Amino acid sequence: MTFLPADLPHTAVRGANFAQSVAKLVAQRLRERFRESRLPDEFSPQDDDVFVAAGYFAGDLTSVYQLEQWLWPFKQLEARLKEAGHGDQPFGIIVRNAPVAEYLKSITSFPVRFSRLTSGLDKFMQSPSLRAVFYVNQGTSNFQALRYPEPAHVHLSHGESEKISMISNQLKGYDYVFTAGRAARERVQQALYGMSDDRMFDVGRPQLDRPRSVPHEWKRFKEASPDGQAVFYAPTWEGDSPSMAYGTIAYNGTQLVTSLLEAGYRVIFRPHPRTGVMCHEFEKAVEDVAEIVESDPRGFLDESPDVSWQLDEADLAVVEMTSVAFDWLSSGKPLVMVQPHETEAEVLEGGLLDLCPTVGSTGEADVVDVIAEAVAQAGSVEAIAQLYLGDTSPGAQMARFIRSSEQVIAQRVEEHRLKHLV
């Protein structure tokens, strides 16, 4: 007799699921090792690498978006370093995952180096020219790189938000933290003991200064779709722990989108790229919402590479606790926040969920009514943006990022000079 999973005892089902998960992980690792063995030698740290600054990334392809959003700011920094006489290739990237190395090579002109082993990491991090290394997340593998004392280690994060991970005590492991604005700096100072102000630099979100282009798909959609204001609906993923569970699409996604479409709004739906990684219900919810959106002439499934043009094209946003909400502030347009469903999700008192109109995670308040409230309060968005991002006038955030990076590099150069005089 063949037993289906539903016929097995609960413990047997868990055992079978665990075995399947292990088998998938082993298969994935074998594929990665195979791809690693086929990587050209150019991906290995080179003897003639003379990078002054570098980006470090140890994640896999499901989280490479964290690094991608920093590639343009890194390019602007690289241009400035070249102008300052730091050679033809002053910026490089070191990754710990072979598929990520291959992917980055296809989308950027930066030299991409790979090493899963510490021997390659040693060679990269101990380069005599290296003065600053930037980190875009709080991955535990970052701490393998932080043990090298010569370069300054700078935490960037991949967005500004009030998720609990933004005030992790791990921040103390970095020499410097580039915060988005006053709210982030004060948040860190209030939460962490011994985090001095001189280790933090407010740089805003330099990505927001990148020139934006509207996708052809959206242009065609606007021409063909009925009139109506556009709502940018960008829910976050489910999170990897109860304290980080800010996503709600599994509980209210279909209801929110249906209400918006029935009210005559055009909906730009952009799910978080990691949605469903931890919970199948969230993966299924994305599929259900996408089906509703694609079947309605007012719905647009956003598969563009980044969040940028939506800030110009959409009239208002419905967003959860994610960096998209804080980036949206720079637009000055109405913002509706969605409260977490998980009661253990840690929410900062007096934060954006208190400053903006909110809709509950299970639809206890009609999103259309809350939008009307947000429109009435739109005048306060500029002040909130100043609190979280500082000056958002064109070019201001990029200038702060470059200035802060140069200051860190110059300080490390001087510290290195004085150390070796002794």
For 309-348, what is each residue's pLDDT tens digit? 999 999 999 999 999 999 999 999 999 999 999 889 888 8
Radius of gyration of the chain from Cα atoms? 23
Q: Which residues pair with 92 in a beta bridge?
A: 54
Average pLDDT over the chain, rounded to an integer: 92
Region 4-33: mean pLDDT is 64
pLDDT category of residue 39 using cuts at 50, 70 and 90: confident
pLDDT category of residue 6 using cuts at 50, 70 and 90: low
Per-residue pLDDT tens over the stretch 91-122: 999 999 999 999 999 999 999 999 999 999 99
Could you give the CA distance from residue 299 to residue 369 in angstroms, rounded to a whole number?
20
pLDDT of amino acid 4: 53
Q: Phi first, then psi: give them for residue 184, nearest 5 degrees.
A: -65, -45
Per-residue pLDDT tens over the stretch 228-274: 999 999 999 898 888 889 999 999 999 999 999 999 999 999 998 88
pLDDT of amino acid 351: 93
pLDDT of amino acid 371: 95
| Buried b / exposed e along 235-273 (16+ C-beta atoms within 10 A) | bbbbbeeeebbbbbbbbbbbebbbbbbebebbbbbbbbe
Burial class (CB in 10 A: 0-12, 13-18, 19+), 279: middle
- In this prediction, what percent of the chain has a pLDDT beyond 90? 78
Is the pLDDT at 61 greater than 90? The verdict is: yes
Contact yes or no for 215/306 (Cβ under 8 A): no
Contacts of 147 (CB under 8 A, 6+ apart): none
Contacts of 171 (CB under 8 A, 6+ apart): 155, 177, 188, 192, 195
Is the pLDDT at 37 greater than 80? The verdict is: no
Per-residue pLDDT tens over the stretch 129-186: 999 999 999 999 999 999 999 999 999 999 999 888 899 999 999 999 999 999 999 9
Angle in degrees, 0-180, between the axes of helices 381-389 and 182-191, rounded to the nearest 10: 60
Per-residue pLDDT tens over the stretch 185-226: 999 999 999 998 999 999 999 999 999 999 999 999 999 998
pLDDT of amino acid 12: 62
Worst-scoring range by mean pLDDT, 30-44, 179-193, 292-306, 408-422?
30-44
* Maximum pairwise Cα distance, the chain: 79
More confident residue, 29 or 75: 75
